[in-house]
Structure 1
């Protein structure tokens, strides 16, 4: 069973709902950063947009060597046999992950855009905006630099119950306490072929 998303847009949707990623440099340093997906006209991920504090040592590392490994964890959780009626069914762990290799380029001229786009993404109902910071924003932005990570490869693993029998799958989706995981299973499961008991 290949645990792959059904469509390229599923990758961007996972990043949108779980934007925090580990950005790993060649020296094995790593920083958790919220990132935004940038896609082509077919919904395929082409780059990630974010920002660093200029004092972060990875800035100098990526200026010298732009290659990065970027890791996203989406919905995940333990799946207990207590959720299913099959007495011989075994426990498992369901998850959605992305392993992305990218080339990072700093785009200082887009730092204001990066901060505003991230705030708009995280405050979708028009809540807090960076302008609320007043003069403090103008002082802060000098210590931040935007970057774009151009994707060279993306390995998506969506292990979300695609191999389960229909009845077992339905029981897990109905009863799992992590509703984020259950929704992800349902979204991927809506497009899986029937799998009889």
Structure 2
């Protein structure tokens, strides 16, 4: 990933929080037949391995778990807040007109050694942990144990568990850090005026970047 210094993020807690908030990733592998990619939710286990691990599962019918070359590192790509930035929001437009549109976004690329797991105990642990994570905070959270045991067993037979032991993380927060303070303030104001949840998330990220500088 192209990573200019002004957009580079190295703070582990901030990166982990983004993976927690935006867990839907693209899992990319190389192997028989070339490159494969699967969209799926992944969960960070920060204590599993020197740099942590990602856990999740694939459908057994998805051939990626059979074709991925274990000798080649896999890549998980997470996308955070993102959105179009019009130059009309920049103070510089009014001053010089020397501006162009851009796109603000958060992207996290996680590389690591990928392994797949078929044993029922490991699969049950993975789906239980994923469920507890995403049901947390709900008024009436659903639990794996709410379903009949024989039904859960049949569902587990239809999936393959995965663990990606992390070897490297690259994180990019492109949130107008290369613009003047006045331009950045205009971006925040313009995004908030859009009124959408997505625009608000980008505005919050731009404002947070401003507060850190």
Map 1:144-155 to 2 at 5 A: 144-155=159-170
> Is 1:125 the counterpart of 2:121 in the alignment?
no
> Is 1:104 the counterpart of 2:114 in the alignment?
yes
**Secondary structure of residue in 1 paired with 2:212:** coil
Deviations 1:26-46 (A, max 9, x none): 1201111100112259xx952
Select between 84-93 and 62-71 the one with higher mean Cα deviation.
62-71
How far apart are 1:99 and its partner, in Å? 2.0
Aligned to 1:36, which of 43, 58, 69? Answer: 43
How far apart are 1:145 and its partner, in Å? 2.4
How far apart are 1:186 and its partner, in Å? 2.1
2:9/2:15 contact within 8 Å kept:
yes
Map 1:165-180 to 2 at 5 A: 165-176=180-191, 177=194, 178-180=199-201
Deviations 1:24-82 (A, max 9, x none): 111201111100112259xx952111111222111112375463122121111110122
Q: 1:40 to 1:4 in 2, by over 3 A?
A: farther
> Is 1:7 the counterpart of 2:11 in the alignment?
yes
Alpha-carbon distance between aligned partners in 2 of 1:40 and 1:164, rounded to the nearest angstrom: 38
Structure 1 gaps of 5+ residues are: 193-197
Q: 1:65 to 1:58 in 2, by over 3 A?
A: farther
> Where does residue 195 of structure 1 map in the other structure?
none
How far apart are 1:93 and its partner, in Å? 0.8
What is the Cα-based RMSD across aligned positions, in Å? 2.2
Per the normalisation by structure 1, the TM-score is 0.85
> Is 1:70 the counterpart of 2:76 in the alignment?
yes
**Secondary structure of residue in 2 paired with 1:125:** coil
Per the normalisation by structure 2, the TM-score is 0.79
> Where does residue 208 of structure 2 map in the other structure?
187
